[in-house]
A and B are shown apart, each in its own frame.
Chain A
Amino acid sequence: MSDVIRKFTRNVPEWRPRVEPIRLEEATQEQLDALQVTPSNTKVSAYVLTLAHDVETLKVRSPLFNAIMYDKGGLSRAEREIGALAASMVNHCIYCAAVHAGRHAQLSKDTTVTDELFAKGLKADLSERDRAIFDFAFALSKAPSEAGPEHMKQLRAVGLDDAEILDLILASSLFGWANRLMHVLGDPVRKEAK
C-alpha cells in the first residue's frame, strides 16, 4: 500500500486501523462512558474506537497516560516528550513520533532538537542533558536490560534528580505501551486532501 508512510516526519499522518473499530451507534454504555461520548461530544478518533474493543483497559489507561505526561513537578514536559520520542523511534512508530516531536517543539519553542533526532538518530548533536535523556530512554525502549548503570550515572551527572529520572522512566515506558497499540493496530497514511 503506497500511501503508508515509512519515514519519520513532522507532519502528523492519518491513522488507518488494521482492524474494524467499534461502531459508535452499537457501543455499550460502558464503552460510551470510556469514550466520554456525550450529546455535545460525538467525535471520537478511529484509534480510540479501536481501543474500545478492550474497554476495561481503555478506561484506566487514559487517566494514567495523562498523569505520566502532564502531572506537575518532576521532569519538564518537553523532556518527557524526548522520552516518548526515543521509544517511538526505537519502535518505529511514525504516528507517535510525529505527534511527540511536535509537542516537544511546541513546548521548547524550538525544532532543532527533534530535527536533529529525526535526521541523525543516536548521532544527533544534542546538549549534554538532552543526550543523556535520549540515550537512556532509547536503551530502555530497546530492552529493559539495555539500560545500564552508565546511563543512570550520566543522568545524574547532567543534573537530573530522582523525581526527574523516575518521570523519564515512566514517559519512555509508557510509549513502549502506546507504540505497541498505535504501530501494531494501524498504519500511518498521508492525509487526504480535503
Chain B
Amino acid sequence: MSSTILELSGVTSGSSLAAALDGRSNILEMTQTTEDAVLKPAETGAWSHDLRAALAARIAGLNGETTLADRYRALVSDSALASVADPLQSGEAQGVALVCAFMDKVAANTREIEASDISELQGAGVADADIVRLCEINAFVSYHIRLLAGVRLMKEVLS
C-alpha cells in the first residue's frame, strides 16, 4: 500500500527512522485508509470530493504545510473550487464563506471555538451530519500535517 507520509517525507530505506516507521506500518496503513475515507467517501453528504480536497489543501496551507497542501490541491478537478484551497480567499464566490471561516478557526484557533460557531452553521442550514463531516475533515488533516512535519523534522535533524 502506498503511503502519503512515507512518500512526502522522503525517508530513505535502511535508516533508523525507516526502521521506526516500519515498526508502525500498521498505523501508516490505517492513516492512508482514513485519508481515503475522509477525502473520498462513498457517502459525501453536502461536501463533494473536490470540495473536501480543496478544504484539506486550505487547512494545510494555513498551517504552512505546503507539501501536503499541493498534494491535496492536485485532487481538485473542478476549477471553480480551486480558490477554496487558498487560505487568503474567503470562499464567497463558491458560496462557502461560512464553511471556510469555520474551517480556518477549527484548524488554527481550536481553543476559541464556542457553541455559537456550531449554531451559526446550523442557522445557515448546514445539517448536523454535515457539520460532523466538516470536523472530521479538519481533524484528520490536522493530524496528517503534524505527522508529516514531525517525521520530516526527525529526518532533517536526527539522520
Contacts and interface: CB of A to CB of B under 8 A. Distances in A.
Interface of A: 1, 18-20, 50-51, 53-57, 59-61, 63-64, 67-68, 71, 73-74, 90-93, 140-141, 143-145, 147-149, 151-153, 156, 161-163, 165-167, 169-170, 172-174, 176-181, 183-185, 187
Contact of B128 (A53, A60, A61, A71): A53
A162 B154 contact: yes
Contacts of B153: 147-149, 151-152
B150 A177 contact: no
Given A59-B37, A147-B150, A179 B43 contact: no
Given A19-B131, A162-B20, A64 B30 contact: yes
A140 B111 contact: no
Contacts of A185: 118, 131-132, 135
Contact of B24 (A93, A170, A176, A180): A170
Contacts of B158: 152, 156, 162, 165
A177 B63 CA distance: 15
Given A19-B128, A56-B42, A172 B146 contact: yes
Interface string B17-33: 10111011011001101
Interface in B1-56: 16-17, 19-21, 23-24, 26-27, 30-31, 33-34, 37-38, 41-43, 45
